[in-house]
Amino acid sequence: MSTADLKPYIEPIQAIVQRHPRTITLTALITIATPWFVNNYNAFIDMGPGGLPWNAYGWLIALYRKPFSRETKSTALYDKDSNKTSYLKDPASIKERRGERPKTTWHVFPSRQLNKFAPSDIQKRLIAVFDKHASANPSLVEVVPSRFERLHPALVIHSSRTSPHKAATMARREICHIHRGKDFSLHATMAPQDCKLVIERGWGERHPLAGSHFLPKEYMLLYAPRDDEELAAVEQFMCAAIGYMANTQAVN
């Protein structure tokens, strides 16, 4: 079919576009963008409940928070921090984590990893580690529903203790919690130098909002442990988070 043959069909379309340019443009943009929004919403729902309402309203909040997100793997901000204290009991024993880092969510809430999940037996043992240190440190910590996740139990600074630093206040006194859904990653608030080690050796990264007015720069995503060696490292990180937030080296 030649251009001349198409002319009777093209001219009416051109006339409509000329009469309603804004409407046509908006319609085209909506048509192009709709698949992205549908996929993005499905990705939000697929991660399961966590912090925000698990529905379209929560998804819209997550979209609103996204522009505030920051990069998650640089360590220069910890080098600049005057606090050089580490709360890790044996940092030399923590080797570089094997393999590539897991992929993480596009959304800032919920902040999760998307692959390399913890096996079911390690999941149970990770929860046991959490419970062990909660019981072993009754004067330092207590267990309450996470003030961020709302669904998962969290270790927080014991109510009898004052918040020792600004990071504790910004983190709502929350020390750590386990994401007991798909991945079994953790969020933990750790000393600046311990955050640096975690990132440099591949064990985690900052929460995307860490370092903003939402969360302190010490708020970390720790990747889910996959075996005994990784579980031992995560246990060290958990104890270090307790020490930092309770301002003590005497963590059981």
State pLDDT tens for residues 60-84.
888 888 999 999 999 999 999 999 9
Predicted confidence at residue 48, as pLDDT, reads 79
User: Do the Cβ atoms of 20 and 38 come closer than 8 Å?
Assistant: no
For residue 222, what pLDDT is reported?
98
Tally of CB atoms within 10 A around 228:
11
Residue 26 has pLDDT above 70, yes or no: no
What percent of the chain is modeled with pLDDT above 70?
87
The yes-or-no verdict on residue 23 having pLDDT over 90 is no
DSSP structure class, residue 224: P
The pLDDT of residue 39: 86
What was the pLDDT predicted at 47?
A: 82
Cis peptide bond upstream of 110, omega within 30 = yes
What's this model's pTM, rounded to 2 decimal places?
0.85
What average pLDDT is seen over the chain?
88
What is residue 13's predicted lDDT score, i.e. its pLDDT? 47
Residues whose CB falls within 8 Å of the CB of residue 112, separated by 6 or more in sequence, listed in order: 47, 50, 104, 105, 179, 181, 182, 183, 185
Q: Which residue has the higher pLDDT, 246 or 49?
A: 246
How far apart (Å, rounded) are the C-alpha atoms in residues 132 and 234? 14
Q: Is the pLDDT of residue 19 over 70?
A: no
Distances in whole angstroms, Cα of residue 176 to Cα of each of 98, 116, 141, 241: 23, 20, 11, 7
CA 129 vs. chain centroid, Å, equals 21
What distance in Å separates the CA atoms of residue 134 and residue 143, rounded to the nearest whole number?
Answer: 7
Stretch among 44-58, 77-91, 121-135, 159-173 having the lowest mean pLDDT: 44-58
47-56, 95-104, 147-156, 201-210: segment of lowest average pLDDT:
47-56
Q: Mention every residue, 6+ apart, whose C-beta is less than 8 A from residue 34.
A: none
141-145, strands of its sheet edge to edge = 141-145, 153-157, 174-178, 186-189, 219-222, 204-206
pLDDT at 248 over 60: yes
**Contact at 8 Å (CB) between 189 and 244?**
yes
Distance (Å, whole) CA 76 – CA 220: 15
| Whole-Å CA distances, 63 to 69, 109, 177, 191 | 11, 9, 24, 30
pLDDT digits (tens, 9 = 90+) for 163-194: 999 999 999 999 999 999 889 999 999 999 99
User: Is the pLDDT reported for residue 12 higher than 60?
Assistant: no
In this predicted structure, the answer to whether residue 128 has a pLDDT above a threshold of 80 is yes
What pLDDT was estimated at residue 44? 87
Point out the least confidently predicted range of 21-25, 152-156, 204-208: 21-25
Q: What is the chain's length?
A: 252
Cβ pair 157, 246 in contact under 8 A: yes
pLDDT band at 7 (very low <50, low <70, confident <90, very high): very low
